Amino acid sequence: MIPVVWILALNALCVPAAIVLQRFWLRAHPVRADLPAQGSAARCTLVSCLALWLAGSIGGFSWGFPALLPIFHGIFLGAQGLVYIAVFCVSESGRRYYLLEQLDRQPGITPEALAATYPDRDILERRLARLLAWGVISRRDDRCRLQKRSSYYYSLFFRLWGKCLGFTWFRELRAGHSSMKK
Amino acid sequence: MTSAALLWGIGAFLAGWLLHLAWWRVRRPADDLRALVLSVLVLPALAGALAAIPVQPTLPELLMGYGVLGALGLAYSAWYPAAQAASPTMLIVLQLGHAGQRGLTATEITAAFDDDQLCRNLIRNLVDERFAVERNGRLYPGPRGHRLLRALGGLRRCIGLKEARG
Protein backbone atom coordinates (compact mmCIF):
# COMPACT_ATOMS: atom_id res chain seq x y z
CA MET A 1 0.00 0.00 0.00
CA ILE A 2 2.92 2.40 0.62
CA PRO A 3 3.59 3.11 -3.11
CA VAL A 4 -0.15 3.84 -3.60
CA VAL A 5 -0.19 6.29 -0.68
CA TRP A 6 3.02 7.89 -2.00
CA ILE A 7 1.48 8.40 -5.45
CA LEU A 8 -1.82 9.70 -4.05
CA ALA A 9 -0.07 12.16 -1.72
CA LEU A 10 2.03 13.63 -4.52
CA ASN A 11 -0.92 13.72 -6.94
CA ALA A 12 -3.00 15.67 -4.45
CA LEU A 13 -0.42 18.46 -4.73
CA CYS A 14 -0.57 18.79 -8.54
CA VAL A 15 -3.48 21.21 -9.05
CA PRO A 16 -2.92 23.31 -5.89
CA ALA A 17 0.75 23.71 -6.88
CA ALA A 18 -0.28 24.77 -10.43
CA ILE A 19 -2.73 27.34 -8.99
CA VAL A 20 -0.14 28.84 -6.63
CA LEU A 21 2.50 28.92 -9.38
CA GLN A 22 0.06 30.57 -11.78
CA ARG A 23 -0.87 33.23 -9.21
CA PHE A 24 2.79 34.16 -8.75
CA TRP A 25 3.50 33.90 -12.47
CA LEU A 26 0.68 36.30 -13.35
CA ARG A 27 1.87 38.77 -10.71
CA ALA A 28 5.36 38.70 -12.19
CA HIS A 29 4.21 38.62 -15.84
CA PRO A 30 0.79 40.29 -16.10
CA VAL A 31 -1.02 39.57 -19.37
CA ARG A 32 -2.54 42.30 -21.52
CA ALA A 33 -6.10 43.13 -20.46
CA ASP A 34 -7.53 41.94 -23.78
CA LEU A 35 -5.61 38.65 -23.89
CA PRO A 36 -6.53 35.45 -22.04
CA ALA A 37 -3.95 33.84 -19.75
CA GLN A 38 -4.05 30.29 -21.16
CA GLY A 39 -0.29 30.30 -21.71
CA SER A 40 0.38 30.82 -18.01
CA ALA A 41 -1.93 27.93 -17.11
CA ALA A 42 -0.15 25.59 -19.53
CA ARG A 43 3.35 26.62 -18.35
CA CYS A 44 2.58 26.40 -14.63
CA THR A 45 0.78 23.06 -14.99
CA LEU A 46 3.70 21.63 -16.94
CA VAL A 47 6.18 22.76 -14.27
CA SER A 48 3.99 21.39 -11.46
CA CYS A 49 3.46 18.03 -13.19
CA LEU A 50 7.12 17.61 -14.14
CA ALA A 51 8.42 18.51 -10.67
CA LEU A 52 5.99 16.12 -8.95
CA TRP A 53 6.64 13.35 -11.48
CA LEU A 54 10.39 13.63 -10.96
CA ALA A 55 10.02 13.75 -7.16
CA GLY A 56 7.70 10.73 -7.21
CA SER A 57 9.77 8.68 -9.61
CA ILE A 58 13.17 9.40 -8.06
CA GLY A 59 11.82 8.92 -4.53
CA GLY A 60 10.01 5.71 -5.49
CA PHE A 61 13.05 4.35 -7.33
CA SER A 62 15.40 5.02 -4.42
CA TRP A 63 13.00 3.31 -1.98
CA GLY A 64 12.69 0.27 -4.23
CA PHE A 65 9.05 0.82 -5.24
CA PRO A 66 7.68 -1.08 -8.29
CA ALA A 67 9.22 -0.19 -11.66
CA LEU A 68 5.81 0.71 -13.12
CA LEU A 69 5.27 3.48 -10.54
CA PRO A 70 6.50 6.31 -12.85
CA ILE A 71 4.02 5.22 -15.55
CA PHE A 72 1.01 5.26 -13.18
CA HIS A 73 2.27 8.49 -11.65
CA GLY A 74 2.69 10.05 -15.12
CA ILE A 75 -0.83 9.04 -16.22
CA PHE A 76 -2.43 10.51 -13.06
CA LEU A 77 -0.42 13.75 -13.20
CA GLY A 78 -0.91 14.13 -16.97
CA ALA A 79 -4.66 13.70 -16.62
CA GLN A 80 -4.86 16.24 -13.79
CA GLY A 81 -2.81 18.69 -15.83
CA LEU A 82 -5.06 18.29 -18.87
CA VAL A 83 -8.19 18.68 -16.73
CA TYR A 84 -6.79 21.81 -15.06
CA ILE A 85 -5.85 23.46 -18.38
CA ALA A 86 -9.26 22.59 -19.91
CA VAL A 87 -11.14 23.91 -16.87
CA PHE A 88 -9.07 27.09 -16.82
CA CYS A 89 -9.68 27.67 -20.55
CA VAL A 90 -13.43 27.24 -20.00
CA SER A 91 -13.41 29.99 -17.37
CA GLU A 92 -10.99 32.27 -19.19
CA SER A 93 -12.05 32.43 -22.82
CA GLY A 94 -14.99 30.02 -23.10
CA ARG A 95 -18.20 31.52 -24.52
CA ARG A 96 -20.37 29.22 -22.39
CA TYR A 97 -18.97 30.47 -19.07
CA TYR A 98 -19.06 34.06 -20.32
CA LEU A 99 -22.75 33.70 -21.23
CA LEU A 100 -23.49 32.04 -17.88
CA GLU A 101 -21.83 34.99 -16.10
CA GLN A 102 -24.02 37.39 -18.09
CA LEU A 103 -27.06 35.29 -17.20
CA ASP A 104 -26.13 35.35 -13.52
CA ARG A 105 -25.93 39.16 -13.66
CA GLN A 106 -29.24 39.54 -15.50
CA PRO A 107 -31.47 36.58 -14.54
CA GLY A 108 -34.73 36.50 -16.51
CA ILE A 109 -33.14 37.86 -19.68
CA THR A 110 -34.58 36.59 -22.99
CA PRO A 111 -32.40 34.37 -25.24
CA GLU A 112 -32.36 37.14 -27.88
CA ALA A 113 -31.15 39.74 -25.37
CA LEU A 114 -28.52 37.31 -24.03
CA ALA A 115 -27.24 36.66 -27.57
CA ALA A 116 -27.12 40.43 -28.13
CA THR A 117 -24.70 40.82 -25.18
CA TYR A 118 -22.09 38.94 -27.18
CA PRO A 119 -22.64 39.45 -30.92
CA ASP A 120 -20.88 37.17 -33.38
CA ARG A 121 -18.92 40.10 -34.78
CA ASP A 122 -17.40 40.78 -31.32
CA ILE A 123 -16.60 37.10 -30.82
CA LEU A 124 -14.77 36.89 -34.15
CA GLU A 125 -12.94 40.22 -33.81
CA ARG A 126 -11.74 39.25 -30.32
CA ARG A 127 -10.46 35.88 -31.61
CA LEU A 128 -8.71 37.44 -34.59
CA ALA A 129 -6.97 39.98 -32.33
CA ARG A 130 -5.81 37.17 -30.00
CA LEU A 131 -4.53 34.99 -32.83
CA LEU A 132 -2.57 37.99 -34.16
CA ALA A 133 -1.13 38.81 -30.70
CA TRP A 134 -0.11 35.16 -30.15
CA GLY A 135 1.60 35.03 -33.55
CA VAL A 136 -0.63 32.18 -34.76
CA ILE A 137 -1.63 34.32 -37.74
CA SER A 138 -0.07 37.37 -39.41
CA ARG A 139 -1.67 40.27 -41.25
CA ARG A 140 -0.02 41.78 -44.32
CA ASP A 141 -1.62 43.75 -47.19
CA ASP A 142 -4.91 43.49 -45.29
CA ARG A 143 -4.81 39.67 -45.61
CA CYS A 144 -4.47 37.24 -42.71
CA ARG A 145 -2.26 34.19 -43.12
CA LEU A 146 -1.60 31.21 -40.87
CA GLN A 147 1.85 31.30 -39.26
CA LYS A 148 1.80 28.39 -36.81
CA ARG A 149 0.94 25.13 -38.56
CA SER A 150 0.72 23.40 -35.14
CA SER A 151 -2.49 25.32 -34.40
CA TYR A 152 -3.93 24.09 -37.70
CA TYR A 153 -3.08 20.45 -36.91
CA TYR A 154 -4.53 20.88 -33.43
CA SER A 155 -7.77 22.21 -34.98
CA LEU A 156 -7.81 19.35 -37.50
CA PHE A 157 -7.50 16.89 -34.61
CA PHE A 158 -10.56 18.36 -32.85
CA ARG A 159 -12.46 18.46 -36.17
CA LEU A 160 -11.69 14.75 -36.66
CA TRP A 161 -12.75 14.01 -33.08
CA GLY A 162 -16.02 15.90 -33.63
CA LYS A 163 -16.54 14.14 -36.97
CA CYS A 164 -16.10 10.70 -35.33
CA LEU A 165 -18.84 11.59 -32.85
CA GLY A 166 -21.15 12.86 -35.59
CA PHE A 167 -20.88 16.60 -34.88
CA THR A 168 -21.16 18.96 -37.83
CA TRP A 169 -19.91 22.26 -36.42
CA PHE A 170 -17.15 22.43 -39.03
CA ARG A 171 -19.91 22.70 -41.65
CA GLU A 172 -21.28 25.84 -40.01
CA LEU A 173 -19.16 28.01 -42.24
CA ARG A 174 -21.05 29.27 -45.24
CA ALA A 175 -20.71 27.89 -48.75
CA GLY A 176 -17.97 30.46 -49.34
CA HIS A 177 -15.80 28.28 -47.13
CA SER A 178 -15.63 25.50 -49.73
CA SER A 179 -14.38 27.90 -52.38
CA MET A 180 -11.68 29.03 -49.97
CA LYS A 181 -10.30 25.49 -49.92
CA LYS A 182 -9.23 25.79 -53.57
CA MET B 1 1.19 -2.25 -8.97
CA THR B 2 1.39 -4.47 -12.01
CA SER B 3 0.96 -4.15 -15.74
CA ALA B 4 -2.38 -6.00 -15.36
CA ALA B 5 -3.81 -3.02 -13.45
CA LEU B 6 -2.52 -0.66 -16.14
CA LEU B 7 -4.00 -2.76 -18.95
CA TRP B 8 -7.27 -3.18 -17.04
CA GLY B 9 -7.63 0.62 -16.65
CA ILE B 10 -6.77 1.35 -20.29
CA GLY B 11 -8.98 -1.52 -21.54
CA ALA B 12 -11.96 -0.37 -19.46
CA PHE B 13 -11.55 3.19 -20.77
CA LEU B 14 -11.34 2.01 -24.39
CA ALA B 15 -14.46 -0.14 -23.94
CA GLY B 16 -16.27 2.89 -22.49
CA TRP B 17 -15.04 5.07 -25.35
CA LEU B 18 -16.38 2.60 -27.94
CA LEU B 19 -19.73 2.62 -26.14
CA HIS B 20 -19.70 6.45 -26.14
CA LEU B 21 -18.83 6.50 -29.86
CA ALA B 22 -21.65 4.06 -30.74
CA TRP B 23 -24.15 5.96 -28.55
CA TRP B 24 -23.30 9.32 -30.16
CA ARG B 25 -23.40 7.87 -33.69
CA VAL B 26 -26.81 6.25 -33.14
CA ARG B 27 -28.43 9.17 -31.30
CA ARG B 28 -26.64 12.03 -29.60
CA PRO B 29 -28.06 12.59 -26.09
CA ALA B 30 -29.49 16.03 -25.30
CA ASP B 31 -27.69 16.11 -21.93
CA ASP B 32 -24.20 15.32 -23.22
CA LEU B 33 -22.47 15.71 -19.89
CA ARG B 34 -24.45 13.11 -17.96
CA ALA B 35 -24.30 10.60 -20.84
CA LEU B 36 -20.56 11.17 -21.23
CA VAL B 37 -19.84 10.49 -17.54
CA LEU B 38 -22.03 7.40 -17.71
CA SER B 39 -20.38 6.00 -20.83
CA VAL B 40 -16.69 6.72 -20.19
CA LEU B 41 -16.60 6.45 -16.38
CA VAL B 42 -19.53 4.79 -14.61
CA LEU B 43 -20.38 1.89 -16.95
CA PRO B 44 -16.72 0.91 -17.63
CA ALA B 45 -16.08 0.96 -13.86
CA LEU B 46 -19.03 -1.37 -13.21
CA ALA B 47 -18.18 -3.68 -16.14
CA GLY B 48 -14.51 -3.68 -15.10
CA ALA B 49 -15.43 -4.66 -11.55
CA LEU B 50 -17.36 -7.67 -12.87
CA ALA B 51 -14.47 -8.62 -15.16
CA ALA B 52 -12.00 -8.40 -12.25
CA ILE B 53 -13.96 -10.81 -9.96
CA PRO B 54 -12.39 -14.05 -11.33
CA VAL B 55 -8.87 -12.52 -11.19
CA GLN B 56 -9.22 -11.39 -7.55
CA PRO B 57 -6.85 -8.41 -7.70
CA THR B 58 -5.18 -6.98 -4.60
CA LEU B 59 -6.43 -3.67 -3.17
CA PRO B 60 -3.46 -1.61 -4.54
CA GLU B 61 -3.99 -3.17 -7.99
CA LEU B 62 -7.69 -2.36 -7.88
CA LEU B 63 -7.00 1.23 -6.78
CA MET B 64 -4.42 1.75 -9.50
CA GLY B 65 -6.66 0.22 -12.17
CA TYR B 66 -9.55 2.46 -11.18
CA GLY B 67 -7.12 5.38 -10.97
CA VAL B 68 -6.05 4.86 -14.59
CA LEU B 69 -9.68 4.57 -15.74
CA GLY B 70 -10.64 7.70 -13.78
CA ALA B 71 -7.65 9.68 -15.06
CA LEU B 72 -8.27 8.84 -18.72
CA GLY B 73 -12.05 9.33 -18.40
CA LEU B 74 -11.75 12.71 -16.71
CA ALA B 75 -9.13 14.01 -19.16
CA TYR B 76 -11.32 12.90 -22.08
CA SER B 77 -14.46 14.49 -20.57
CA ALA B 78 -12.64 17.75 -19.82
CA TRP B 79 -11.57 18.17 -23.47
CA TYR B 80 -14.79 16.84 -24.99
CA PRO B 81 -16.41 20.35 -25.25
CA ALA B 82 -13.67 21.33 -27.72
CA ALA B 83 -14.85 18.57 -30.07
CA GLN B 84 -18.53 19.15 -29.29
CA ALA B 85 -18.96 22.88 -29.94
CA ALA B 86 -17.73 25.06 -32.77
CA SER B 87 -14.80 26.98 -31.33
CA PRO B 88 -14.55 30.22 -33.34
CA THR B 89 -10.78 30.23 -32.88
CA MET B 90 -10.49 26.76 -34.37
CA LEU B 91 -12.84 27.63 -37.23
CA ILE B 92 -10.76 30.70 -38.09
CA VAL B 93 -7.54 28.65 -38.00
CA LEU B 94 -9.14 25.96 -40.19
CA GLN B 95 -10.27 28.59 -42.71
CA LEU B 96 -6.81 30.13 -42.88
CA GLY B 97 -5.16 26.70 -43.07
CA HIS B 98 -7.35 25.82 -46.06
CA ALA B 99 -6.68 29.20 -47.71
CA GLY B 100 -2.90 28.62 -47.69
CA GLN B 101 -0.48 31.40 -48.63
CA ARG B 102 -3.23 33.36 -50.41
CA GLY B 103 -4.68 34.18 -47.00
CA LEU B 104 -8.04 35.81 -46.29
CA THR B 105 -9.18 39.30 -45.39
CA ALA B 106 -10.90 39.81 -42.02
CA THR B 107 -14.13 40.50 -43.93
CA GLU B 108 -13.87 37.19 -45.79
CA ILE B 109 -13.27 35.37 -42.50
CA THR B 110 -16.26 36.87 -40.70
CA ALA B 111 -18.52 36.55 -43.78
CA ALA B 112 -18.05 32.77 -43.76
CA PHE B 113 -19.89 32.41 -40.44
CA ASP B 114 -23.64 31.99 -40.28
CA ASP B 115 -25.31 35.01 -38.73
CA ASP B 116 -25.60 34.80 -34.94
CA GLN B 117 -25.12 31.02 -34.86
CA LEU B 118 -21.99 31.16 -32.68
CA CYS B 119 -23.91 32.46 -29.69
CA ARG B 120 -27.44 31.15 -30.28
CA ASN B 121 -26.32 27.51 -30.59
CA LEU B 122 -24.51 27.78 -27.27
CA ILE B 123 -27.54 29.27 -25.52
CA ARG B 124 -29.54 26.25 -26.71
CA ASN B 125 -26.77 23.95 -25.40
CA LEU B 126 -26.82 25.71 -22.01
CA VAL B 127 -30.53 24.88 -21.66
CA ASP B 128 -30.20 21.31 -23.03
CA GLU B 129 -27.35 20.59 -20.63
CA ARG B 130 -29.30 22.19 -17.74
CA PHE B 131 -26.74 24.89 -17.00
CA ALA B 132 -29.61 27.31 -17.64
CA VAL B 133 -33.39 26.91 -17.35
CA GLU B 134 -35.98 28.55 -19.58
CA ARG B 135 -39.28 29.71 -18.05
CA ASN B 136 -41.87 31.65 -20.06
CA GLY B 137 -39.31 32.53 -22.72
CA ARG B 138 -36.83 33.87 -20.15
CA LEU B 139 -33.51 32.36 -19.06
CA TYR B 140 -32.21 31.76 -15.53
CA PRO B 141 -29.03 30.02 -14.34
CA GLY B 142 -29.89 26.42 -13.37
CA PRO B 143 -28.47 24.60 -10.30
CA ARG B 144 -25.74 23.08 -12.47
CA GLY B 145 -24.93 26.53 -13.84
CA HIS B 146 -24.73 27.99 -10.31
CA ARG B 147 -22.36 25.20 -9.27
CA LEU B 148 -20.14 25.84 -12.31
CA LEU B 149 -20.10 29.59 -11.66
CA ARG B 150 -19.20 29.07 -7.99
CA ALA B 151 -16.46 26.53 -8.76
CA LEU B 152 -14.85 28.46 -11.60
CA GLY B 153 -15.34 31.81 -9.85
CA GLY B 154 -13.49 30.36 -6.82
CA LEU B 155 -10.69 29.09 -9.03
CA ARG B 156 -10.35 32.50 -10.72
CA ARG B 157 -10.20 34.25 -7.33
CA CYS B 158 -7.46 31.83 -6.16
CA ILE B 159 -5.39 32.67 -9.24
CA GLY B 160 -6.09 36.38 -8.80
CA LEU B 161 -8.15 36.85 -11.98
CA LYS B 162 -11.34 38.86 -12.23
CA GLU B 163 -13.88 38.84 -15.07
CA ALA B 164 -13.82 36.18 -17.74
CA ARG B 165 -12.76 37.51 -21.13
CA GLY B 166 -15.11 35.44 -23.25
Q: Supply the pTM of this predicted model.
A: 0.87
Of the candidates B1, B104, B156, the beta carbon closest to that of A144 is on: B104
Q: Kindly list the strands in the beta sheet with A143-146, ordered across the sheet, starting from the edge strand earlier in the chain.
A: A137-140, A143-146, B104-105
**B interface test, pick of A49, A57, A99 with most B CB neighbours within 10 Å:** A99
Q: For B114, phi and psi rounded to 5 degrees?
A: -65, 140
* Contact between chains at A172 and B21 (C-beta distance less than 8 A): no
ipTM of model over 0.95: no
Average pLDDT over residues B50-65: 86
* Contact between chains at A176 and B74 (C-beta distance less than 8 A): no
Spatial distance between the Cα atoms of A99 and A177, rounded to a whole number of angstroms: 27
Tell me what pLDDT residue A108 has: 96
Spatial distance between the Cα atoms of A107 and A177, rounded to a whole number of angstroms: 37
Q: Integer distance in angstroms from the first to the last C-alpha of chain A?
A: 60
Residues 23-42 of A with CB under 8 A from B: 23, 26-27, 34-37
Burial class (CB in 10 A: 0-12, 13-18, 19+), A62: exposed
Residue A32 is given by DSSP the state: P
Give the residue from B47, B46, B56, B63 showing the smallest Cα distance to B6: B63
Residue B39 is given by DSSP the state: I
Taking contacts as CB-CB distances below 8 angstroms, the residues of chain B near A151 are 93
Average pLDDT over residues B124-130: 89
Average pLDDT over residues A91-114: 92
Q: For A15, phi and psi rounded to 5 degrees?
A: -70, -45
Most confident of A117-121, B10-14, B120-124: B10-14
Spatial distance between the Cα atoms of A177 and B99, rounded to a whole number of angstroms: 9
Burial class (CB in 10 A: 0-12, 13-18, 19+), B39: buried
Q: Distance from A26 to chain B by nearest Cα, in Å?
A: 8
- Per-domain residue ranges for chain A? 2-93, 95-136, 146-182
